[in-house]
Amino acid sequence: MTAETQPALDPEALRADFPILDQEVHGHKLVYLDSGATSQKPLAVLEAMDGYYRHDNANVHRGIYALSERATADYEGSRAKVARLIGVADPREIIWTRNATEAINLVAYTWGRRHIGRGDVIVLTEMEHHANLVPWQILAQEKDADLEFIPITDDGILRQDVFDVLLRLKPKLVAFTHVSNMLGTINPVVEMTRKAHEAGALVLIDGAQAVPHIPVNVAEIGADFYTFSGHKVMAPTGSGVLWGRRALLEAMPPFMGGGDMIREVHLRRSEWNEIPWKFEAGTPDISAAIGLGAAADYMMGLGMSRVQDHEQELVRYALDVLPREVPGIEIYGPAAPEARGGVVAFNLPGIHPHDVAQVLDRFGVAIRAGHHCTMPLHERLDLSATARASFGVYTTTKDIDALAAALQQVQKLFG
């Protein structure tokens, strides 16, 4: 069955897979609209992790007995599943990390320290999550390098004309988000990667808000590094991924030293293991990796094109209902639903987002409030904070109706 002939996702039916959603908060049915911060976990993931601890709990790679061999097979099998999810042909190019933040830091501290020098240019964007900004600030300060930034338009679109100008500086690296975690903007990653490569730069993409919501194929994108966090893709916290081109990974020094990342150790020297294990020092979070593999299976079973279609329908619905039902609401980001991931950031004039979120919680509605780890982006938009509703496969239009009704109560409360 092709993506075109598959039926649309049925979020009401899928909710049965997520036991946490079957509860009340302050006497109201839980309406979870914070999937951009962390997604809820389906039974398939919970059972995979529980099964490891109940039946196969042993260290990986090191035991020649049944439990260890089964644990190792599941652990490495998850690597292959994640590779398939994002279109990677060689699973050994998948490096396990704790999250996207650690993955980006790994590149900054290994590839960056070796290749970035005084006066070199790194190009970022104004919409980056702190995880794809602070590591490059640290590196630039250490190496006396220069950071340049692609600005955004007022409706949250990257200025490609300015990007073209910045590429004339011959940057060593261009790093940008695939999907903005605050604005929802889906960036033209294929075109931006092509232009960066033509200018001689390597490309790192933060896919933390892309992999859970839209089809991702790193081979088609053509980037050099791609990162994402497991806990946003219905997997456990403490799981994440760095994908890198094999030649780059093999040339990079280790990130940490210790067990499992070595081939031989002598008193005064060591030889490193092959990738991916060269970057995976010590006993890993085995159950988290197994859970991430189960989440990858679950997502591939849903079909990522169907997931994207479902969430864009939710965005379209929200962009219609919220301004109509909540007078005066200010919504940020691209106006076209097809230009967005499943994120809607907003404010109610005169009411602080923290107050909005606190009152919404009394009605069982969970959203995010604050700067969403994008303080420079908020400064660019002259905002101290925003409220953010973000969607998942289990989100329904009824959830958005509940949000609108609760926001009306917020407005009544604050006059």
Which residues are catalytically annotated? 373
Q: What is the 3-state secondary structure (H, E, C) of the chain?
A: CCCCCCCCCCHHHHHHHCHHHCCEECCEECEECECCCCCCCCHHHHHHHHHHHHHHCCCCCCCCCHHHHHHHHHHHHHHHHHHHHCCCCCHHHEEEECCHHHHHHHHHHHHHHHHCCCCCEEEEECCCCHHHCHHHHHHHHHHCCEEEEECECCCCCECHHHHHHHHCCCCCEEEEECECCCCCEECCHHHHHHHHHHCCCEEEEECCCCCCCCCCCHHHHCCCEEEEEHHHCCCCCCCEEEEECHHHHHHCCCCCCCCCCEEEECCCCEEECCCCHHHCCCCCCHHHHHHHHHHHHHHHHHCHHHHHHHHHHHHHHHHHHHHHHCCCCEEECCCCHHHECCEEEEEECCECHHHHHHHHHHCCEECEEECCCCHHHHHHCCCCCEEEEECCCCCCHHHHHHHHHHHHHHHHHCC
φ, ψ at 4 (rounded to 5°)? -70, -30
